[in-house]
Homo-oligomer: A and B are copies of this chain.
C-alpha cells in the first residue's frame, strides 16, 4: 500500500511553483482518469533478474489503451476541459503515440481531435489515429512545418492545443504511473524511464520523489538523440541539429516545462546505443513475451548496459522499476532492425 506522507508534501520542494506539476495535480489526474485507463500489469522474470543481478519490475504501459502510456496524459488533458472548451475539439502535432492517445480520449469524450502528422510517421501509429477517429492533417517532417500547420488548424477550428509533453495536464497524467507502480511494488528503490520530450519522466519523477525522496530516477536515452544528457551536462536546454535512432518515440527535445524537472530530479541519464535497444527488444519478446516498441525496451537496455552496471553509484539499486512505455511497432520494421543486428 502507498503511505502518503502529508508532512513531506507540505514541506516539499517539489511544488507547482517550481515545476509544472506537483503531487496534488498528479493525484487529481488519477481521480480524473481512473475510470478510463487500465491499471497496467507489472511483470518480472527470474531470467532477466539473473542477467543483471537485480530485481526488475516491468510496468507494462504497452498494455495501456492505445498501446502506450500517452493515454494517461491525453485523458487527463481532455477530461479536465470544461464543456465550452471541449466543444471545439483538441489539436496537436505528433508523429506517434500521443496522436493516437489524444484521438482515443477525444472519441471517448465525443469531441473532435485534429492531429497534424508528419509524413514520415510510423504507419502503425498513423493507423491507430485513424482507427480512433482522429482527423489527420499531414505536414512535412520538419518541426517548422508541423508547427505552422498546427497554428493554422488552431485558427480554423478554435480548438484547444494539447502539446504532447510541454503541458501541465499531460505531465500530471503521466505521473499517475508512479502512484500505481509504488502501490504495486512498494520496495522499489529506483525507476528507469525513457526520456524524450520529458513529459513521462517529469510526471514519474515528481510523483515518485514526493512519495519517497530517496527513490532514484534514471533516464534512458538513445545515443543518437541524447539531448537530455547534453542538456544536463551543459546546465541548459540543448537542441540537436538532427537525431538518429531506431527509437522513433524518443526523438523529441526537452521543453521549458520539463527541463527543470530533468535538471533537478533526474539522478542520471544512461545513454545507450541502438544495438543495445535492439538486444533489449529481443529479450522483451523472447523472455518477457511482451511486444514492445524500441522506446519501450530502452529501460531494459539501460540496466543491462555497462555504463549502468559498472557505475558504483548504482550498486545499491536493488529493486528497479522499468517503465515499458509502449508497444506500437510495425512488425516489418522490427524484423529489419533485428536482422541487421545479427552477429
A residues neighboring B (CB under 8 Å): 41, 43, 46-47, 60, 62-63, 65, 67, 124, 131, 282, 284-286, 288-292, 327, 329, 331-332, 335, 338-339
Contacts and interface: CB of A to CB of B under 8 A. Distances in A.
The count of identical subunits is 2
B331 A338 contact: yes
Given A43-B63, A289-B62, A290-B291, A282 B338 contact: no
Contacts of A329: 285-286
Q: What secondary structure prevails in chain A residues at the interface with B?
A: helix
B43 A331 contact: no
A230 B169 CA distance: 59
A289 B292 contact: yes
A62 B291 CA distance: 12
A63 B339 contact: no
A289 B326 CA distance: 9
Given A43-B63, A335-B338, A339-B335, A289 B290 contact: yes
Given A41-B41, A131-B47, A289 B338 contact: no
A60 to B, nearest CB: 8
A124 B285 CA distance: 12
A286 B62 contact: no
B331 A289 contact: no
A35 to B, nearest CB: 15
A90 B62 CA distance: 39
Contact of A286 (B41, B60, B65, B331): B331
